[in-house]
Structure 1
Amino acid sequence: MLGYEELFDYFKRERDKIVSALEKMPLDEFTRNRELSFYSIKDVLVHTVLVEDNWLHYRAAGRGEAQVKFDDFKSLDDVRRYMREVDQKTHELFKRLKPEDLRKEVRRVYPDGRVSVYTLEQVLYHVPIEVIYHYGEIFAEFWRMNVDAPYYSYLNYSKDKEK
């Protein structure tokens, strides 16, 4: 059975391919308004990290929301620093995660006051699914720019892990 930690490792390895492609892109292409789900490719990428940070390290811990603003990130290096910080927190979470923790309630409070309650297990599925959705959005933008999007495949990832 595919473990949560493996699923997170997979999407982070694929994220590294996106970051490698973005390193070749001029900063203004990374940061300009593209009318995506968020303002720029930079903001979509930050959102993917923020999704993980908010769900696993703020909401699941009963700490509200991360106080991160897209304008805090001026470059790919700034985004990479945030990625490393969140990756480390997630690694620590998986080290201490126990089966009974999967039933823990995770609350999301919306700006209008509505509250939704999920289990940590649901959140551990939701985060990678949402993140990979946004990777597809970045890939589509690459194609519009005539930039080759990196190829990713869980099947290739799993074969490489066996080596």
Structure 2
Amino acid sequence: MRELFTYNWQVRDEWFNWCAEQTLEELTRQRDGGVGSILQTLLHIIDVEVSWIRAVMGKPDVPIDSTEYRTLEEIRTLSQQLRPEIISYFDDDFFLVEKKKVYASCLMSRLTRRTVIAHAIVHEVHHIGQLSVWARQLNQSPVSANYIGRNL
């Protein structure tokens, strides 16, 4: 599972680089589908990832205030700052207790840690697909989502 987070982070970082070539107007323009804008989508990806992982870790959710992250660099920095906490989780005894149940308040149900982690991974992949659609609408090539060749 950790290598899939590494994959997501590599692809996300490539999207940050792609975004650096765009105007702020394009990054903040409200779009059909997804969460709204490209920057809002990237922030949403980060927020959901850390929320689910903190739930699995038994820690309280710390909602990300979108008004505090308005630029690409602020969102990129946030992404980098939150990764060590996630990495440390996988360095612990995750696989020894992966079937332990976690309460998901947003669903009002209990799920296994493995299910929650898998959902967090797939959630990002879903939104990366939306970013790819938007890139094509801008007549630009999207970031490759190919897993092969990433040396994970």
Q: Same fold (TM over 0.5)?
A: yes
1:118 pairs with 2:134: no
Alpha-carbon distance between aligned partners in 2 of 1:67 and 1:150, rounded to the nearest angstrom: 28
- 1:90 counterpart (73, 80, 86): 86
Q: Deviations over 1:52-77 (max 9, x none)?
A: 100001x2234443221222211011
Alignment of 1:9-158 (within 5 A): 9-57=6-54, 59-110=55-106, 115-157=108-150
Alpha-carbon distance between aligned partners in 2 of 1:6 and 1:19, rounded to the nearest angstrom: 20
Higher RCO by CA contacts (8 Å cutoff, separation 6 or greater): 2
Unaligned runs of 5+ in 2: none
Alpha-carbon distance between aligned partners in 1 of 2:56 and 2:94, rounded to the nearest angstrom: 14
SS in 2 for 1:153: coil
Over 3 Å counting, the alpha-carbon distance change for 1:37 and 1:150 in structure 2 is: closer
Give aligned pairs, total.
Answer: 152
Alpha-carbon distance between aligned partners in 2 of 1:96 and 1:135, rounded to the nearest angstrom: 28
4+ runs of 1 displaced by more than 6 Å?
A: none
> Kindly, what percent of the aligned residue pairs are identical?
21
* TM-score for the superposition, normalised by structure 1: 0.86
SS in 2 for 1:103: coil
Over the aligned positions, Cα root-mean-square deviation in angstroms equals: 1.6
Q: What's the CA shift for 1:99?
A: 2.3
